Each structure stands twice: as structure tokens, then as C-alpha cells.
Amino acid sequence: MARPVVGIIGNHHMVNDEYPAQAVGRSNLEAVGRVTGALPLMIPAMPEIVDIADLLDAVDGVLLTGGRPNVHPSLYGHEPTEAHGTFDLDRDNLVLPLIRACVERGTPLLGICRGFQEVNVAFGGTLHPEIRDLPGRMNHRMPPDGTLEEKFALRHKVHLTPGGRFARVFGAEEVLVNTLHGQGIEEPGARVIIEGHAPDGTPEAIHIEGARGFAMAVQWHPEWNADQDPVSRPLFEAFGRALSGHPVEKAV
């Protein structure tokens, strides 16, 4: 039997600072291939050549990856500032309508970091430009120094809604995760249900209420060491079950 196919959203990348390319981090490919059992397929974030209907006919699920550029604030009614960092409007223009199409069609959808923020914006939510500037919040950004293992090290707990979808996935109401993001949810969008928070109150896990299929997203990076990490693996396994057509209640 053919393996299910997961479309993984790519990011704009410059090779040697001069040649434009699209790229997907290896850990995203490995998480899909090793844990879900699906065939990973990179989708270029280029709306002029990617038709959403054709894409959803070709894949069984969609993974929204992290990325350095942020969602453009004009897409959630804010003015851009220096704190918002850099942008990738091509990705915004492809992914935001893609998220809504996945939810409407019931195509399994898993968002990671930027993907988590995109899911919120797609349903009318807003974002803080810089979490660490808010009173009482910790610095969630990637440590500037150290090896990749040190940068992706587990750094804080996430407290989950008792009996919620994420608690059922992990078999626990508290998990330990990494953290490598600057922005975060300010106001949740319509149908966006927050089920996990960092100790400082930052939203960390969401799902879409009433979605026909798996529609979940996390602010951390579960793709890192996904086949070994006790939190990452069950999340990708649940996503994998959804790819095989299991109802969302059984998938989680």
C-alpha cells in the first residue's frame, strides 16, 4: 500500500547570499518520514506556482514549519515595526488560505512555531511582536551561542488543559519542551482553542474548534529529535494516525 504524503511548507533561502532557493530543515523531513511513516514532500512557499486545490488533491496532510521571517502584521491589523523583524509575504499569501482550506476540507494539519502563529492569524488572531518585552515574560528566543543540541535543549514546561486533546496525546497534563521563538499569540482567533501555556502565560498549544480533521499546532519545535523525544514522538504519531483517515477524536 502506498505511503501517505505530507506536504511540508518550505521557506525562502539564499544560497551563498546570492542564489534564491526554497528549503526545508532536515529535522522536519525526518520527523515525518521516521515517525508518521509518511512520504515527506517539500512544498515551495510560492503562491504564484502552487494552487491550493491541486496541492490538497496531492497530499494527505500538511506540516507548517518554523521559519525566521514573521507573519506580516498588516495581516492581523497591526503596523509593522522593527520589533516585528523580517517578513516573507509569499509564504503568508500561500499558507494563510491553505490553513483555512485544510480545516474546511478536513486535511490533517500540524503547525510548528511560525506555523502555530500562522494558524492563529488565519482565523483572525493577533500576535505580540516580541514576547520577551512583555512584563513578566521569559525570553523564548533561541540561545545565541552553543551547539544545535544546546539551542534545541528542553527549557520550560507547558501546562495543558486537563482532558484536552494535547493532554490525551501526551498522556500528561505537563510536558517539557524547547523554545526558539520571539513572537507569540496576543489574541486568539475565532475557533482557536488554547490548550497549553508556558509558566509565564505564553500560549504554546492550540487546536481549531470544530475542524473536520486533525488541526493542531504548537509554539515549540517538536521536529527536533522527534523519533526519540517523549513529547515529540506521540504528537507526530497522532498526526500520522490522522493521515490514515482516522477521525480526529481517535487520532488524538
Active-site position among 12, 72, 181, 221: 221
Catalytic annotation on 223?
yes
Q: How far apart are alpha carbons 140 and 132 in whole angstroms?
A: 7
Please write the tens of the pLDDT for every residue from 13-24: 899 989 999 999
- 179's CB contacts (< 8 A; 6+ apart) are 140, 141, 155, 156, 198, 219, 220
Q: How far apart are alpha carbons 147 and 193 in whole angstroms?
A: 35
CB 129 within 8 A of CB 73: yes
* pLDDT attached to residue 95: 98
What topology does CATH give the domain 5-251? Rossmann fold (3.40.50)
* pLDDT attached to residue 109: 98
Domain boundaries, the chain: 5-251
Active-site position among 113, 130, 140, 207: 113
Q: How far apart are alpha carbons 5 and 134 in whole angstroms?
A: 40
Active-site position among 118, 130, 195, 223: 223
- Going by the DSSP 8-state scheme, the letter that residue 154 receives in this structure is -
- pLDDT under 50: residue ranges of the chain: none
Catalytic annotation on 102?
no
* pLDDT attached to residue 249: 52
CB 62 within 8 A of CB 98: yes
